[in-house]
Amino acid sequence: QVHVVESGGGLVKPGGSLRLSCAASGFSFSDYFMAWIRQAPGKGLECIAYVSGTSILKTYADSVKGRFTISRDNSKNLVFLQMDRLTAEDTATYYCARDLKQWVIGTFFDNWGQGTRVTVSS
């Protein structure tokens, strides 16, 4: 059974940094693209980054480009999101999600974690 669990959220001051982790299990981890998708309080969904199975391809939304870095460790079935220069607009629940199809870029997301909340406030 596929399982995805995020951790690392919390309260951080504007300009600060935070590193989110996502632990995955129940599937051949290195075969799948993984993504981070966030949802501001009471708002819709925004895909902010995804990474290919081999980490060769990493893509970011314009809203986080240059501030956030996605990475993965296939030996430990982990995905990370390093978030720097945080602003209030980054306050959201951050979800880690698995791509629907093996080896294919950016399709749809069929397995999500429960989310980890990030609050940026002084």
Partner 1 sequence: EIVLTQSPATLSLSPGERATLSCRASQSISTYLGWYQQKPGQAPRLLIYDASDRATGIPARFSGSGSGTDFTLTISSLEPEDSAVYYCQQRSNWITFGQGTRLEIK
CB of 5 vs partner 1, minimal distance in Å? 11
User: Which of residues 100, 102, 103, 121 is near partner 1 by CB under 8 A?
Assistant: 100
Residue 110 contacts partner 1 per CB under 8 A:
yes
3-state secondary structure the chain: CCEEEEECCEEECCCCCEEEEEEEECCCHHHCCEEEEEECCCCCEEEEEEECCCCCCEEECCCCCCCEEEEEECCCCEEEEEECCCCHHHCEEEEEEEECCCCCCCCCEEEECCCEEEEECC
Residue 59 contacts partner 1 per CB under 8 A:
yes
- Judged by beta carbon, residue 21 or residue 112, the one nearer partner 1 is 112
User: Which of residues 18, 20, 22, 35 is near partner 1 by CB under 8 A?
Assistant: 35
Residue 61 contacts partner 1 per CB under 8 A:
yes
Read off the tokens for 6. Answer: 């995020």
32 CB burial (10 A radius; 0-12, 13-18, 19+)? buried
- Judged by beta carbon, residue 16 or residue 67, the one nearer partner 1 is 67
Residue 89 contacts partner 1 per CB under 8 A:
no
CB of 55 vs partner 1, minimal distance in Å? 19
Site of interaction with partner 1 (CB under 8 A): 35, 44-47, 50, 59, 61, 95, 97, 100, 106-110, 112-115
